[in-house]
Amino acid sequence: MDDCLFCKIVRGELPSKKAYEDDDVLVFHDIHPIAPVHLLLIPKLHVESLASCDAKHQAILGKLMLLAPRLALEQGLDQGFRTMINTGHGGGQEVFHLHLHVFGGGEHIPKI
């Protein structure tokens, strides 16, 4: 996906503050954090949103979910954290490359 912002980050064409990387996942800090720790967990392969996923994405979705508590703890979120996936315009999604928000820390975590 040539024009996708997060694909550009995966390819190293745009900078990011990386927190974790392996063959199929990249994790970096959100550029506009809404909490003291705010990570974005993304598959390296372009997937538009959760609504575009099907059975072949089962493994990567599971991997992202299982990475969340591990990386949250690594970032010092030992009291817990929040996860969020915005899907589609109606769900407030702004970057159309699937990402799992993991955030927390500080006194007041934004409530939904």
Give the interface with ligand AMP as residue ranges (CB under 6 A). 5, 14, 16, 28, 30-32, 40, 86, 92-95
Give CA–CA dist 105/18, Å, rounded: 19
Binding partner selected for residue 7 from ligand AMP, Zn ion, none, CB under the kind-specific 5 to 8 Å limit: Zn ion
Q: Which of 38, 97, 99, 101 is labelled catalytic?
A: 99
Nearer to ligand AMP, 90 or 107 (CB): 90
The Cα angle at residue 48 between residues 65 and 105, in degrees rounded to 5: 40
Give CA–CA dist 59/11, Å, rounded: 22
**Whether the Cβ atoms of residue 25 and residue 44 lie closer than 8 Å to each other:** yes
1 binds Zn ion per the rule CB under 5 A: yes
User: Is 99 a residue of the active site?
Assistant: yes
Instruction: State phi, psi for 29 to the nearest 5 degrees.
Output: -80, 135
Nearer to ligand AMP, 17 or 70 (CB): 17
The residues annotated with a catalytic role in the active site are 99
Residues contributing to the site for Zn ion (CB under 5 A):
1, 4, 6-7, 46, 97
